[in-house]
Amino acid sequence: MKNISVIIPTYHFADVAKRVIQATLNQTLRPTELIIIDSSSDNSIEDLANGLESDIPIVYQRVDQAFPGEARNKGAAIASQDWLAFLDSKTVPVSDWLESNFKALDESKADIIFGTTKYLASSSFQKCLQACVYGLKTIETTPGTLIQKSNFDKIGGFREGVRTGDDMEWRETIKRSTLSYISPKRISLTYNELPEHLLPTLKRFFIYQLHTSRVDIQNTSKSIMFSFFLIFMTILVPKWNSIVGWEDSIFYFPNITKLYISSLAVFALLIIFLKRNWVSRYANSIVGFSIVVSAMITFFLIAVSWNKVIAGWVEDSVWYFPHITKIYVFLALFSSIAYRGIYFPLKNGFAISDLLPFWWLKVGLLGLMLDIVKAPGYILGALLNLLSK
């Protein structure tokens, strides 16, 4: 017999929250306690909780507006059972979620099992968003996770004060700990509430990236300082000699741009060969983002200066490339569109027939727009976090 406290943070959306709660109460392995942490500004969730008829104790707690991580922490603090199971207000568990996941825990002898969520789409826009961001495969998520309360206390709760990213950081903390964990392939939950319009989606991804950048850097500003320094240097170095006055200045540095680019290349190779774990850890962090931005700026400056520096504007030269800047910009944009519109969907469960003849272009353009709005969110969030320190 498993004594389980299921914790559901809610913020409005009573209709879908009702489906989540009903699916939880109707599990093949029933929970011992259901905890609802509600930060809604109206009484819709409270009325829903008060109207439920179940022999399972339901603990409803109204709190001031709280992000999901804060609500989960509050739920864990008042939970009275040995096991904690986390859900979201929009992630509907399959009927045997608790039973099958506890069975997987018993078979693997692991301490923790993470949730797996499949994102569903119905409208044309939702299907495009699903293709370029989520895919058809299940995704490891914090909703659906089962953990003993004693282990939760040992690991520590979710970071508070951020809207998103705290759950990913919490899972990474578990993966670096001595506790064993598994992530099943079968579906634990389904999510059918993807946005249906472009502008709200762009706003959502900007805000999420604003908060995620703060989580990625954790409690240190070193990553941010390095990131901004790297981007600043990429812009400054090619202009250095013209700023200091060329050969007449004591600060003149011959071939400074070539040396800088070579140094970046050597640095990247050393990291790849000597610090593979570091690469994996920061691949999606502000450091990884800044390296990508620096590389893009570097290649753009090379493209802009190529015909002037290499070919000397001599159109008959073998090194002269007509419209090289336009070609570079086109290739950069096309690469992003092709990645989001073809490679990512194929990697994550879509068939090539789903993408042809032209749907991949629509998917890729949406992915490109999302990447564009995420960039300032990442930078602004990192800067705000640095200032707050």
Boundaries of every domain in the chain: 4-195, 222-388
Structure-token pair, residue 107: 């078979």
The residue assigned the tokens 């050969």 is: 247
| Cα Rg, the chain, nearest whole Å | 25
What does the alpha-carbon distance between residue 243 and residue 147 come to, in Å, rounded to a whole number?
A: 59
What does the alpha-carbon distance between residue 92 and residue 351 come to, in Å, rounded to a whole number?
A: 26
The pLDDT of residue 379 is above 70: no
With bands split at pLDDT 50, 70 and 90, how would you rate the model's confidence at 211? confident
Average pLDDT over residues 234-254: 80
Give me the pLDDT at residue 201, please.
94
| Chain centre to alpha carbon of residue 358 | 27
Q: Quote the percentage of the chain above a pLDDT of 90.
A: 49
Average pLDDT over residues 365-376: 86
Give me the pLDDT at residue 169, please.
87
Report the Cα–Cα distance between both ends of the chain, in Å, rounded.
47
- Coil/strand/helix, residue 151: helix
Query: Regarding beta strands 189-191 and 139-148, do their DSSP bridges make them parallel or antiparallel, or are they unpaired?
Result: unpaired
What does the alpha-carbon distance between residue 29 and residue 107 come to, in Å, rounded to a whole number?
A: 17
| Residue-averaged pLDDT of the chain | 83
Ranked by mean pLDDT, the top range of 154-158, 214-218, 220-224, 248-252 is 154-158
Average pLDDT over residues 29-43: 93
Average pLDDT over residues 110-124: 95
Q: Which of 173, 171, 179 lies closest to 151, judged by CA?
A: 179
CATH number of 4-195: 3.90.550.10
Give me the pLDDT at residue 236, please.
78
The pLDDT of residue 153 is above 80: yes
Average pLDDT over residues 184-194: 92
The pLDDT of residue 283 is above 70: no
Using alpha carbons, list the distances in angstroms from residue 335 to 15, 182, 205.
41, 35, 21
Q: Which residue has the higher pLDDT, 230 or 365?
A: 365
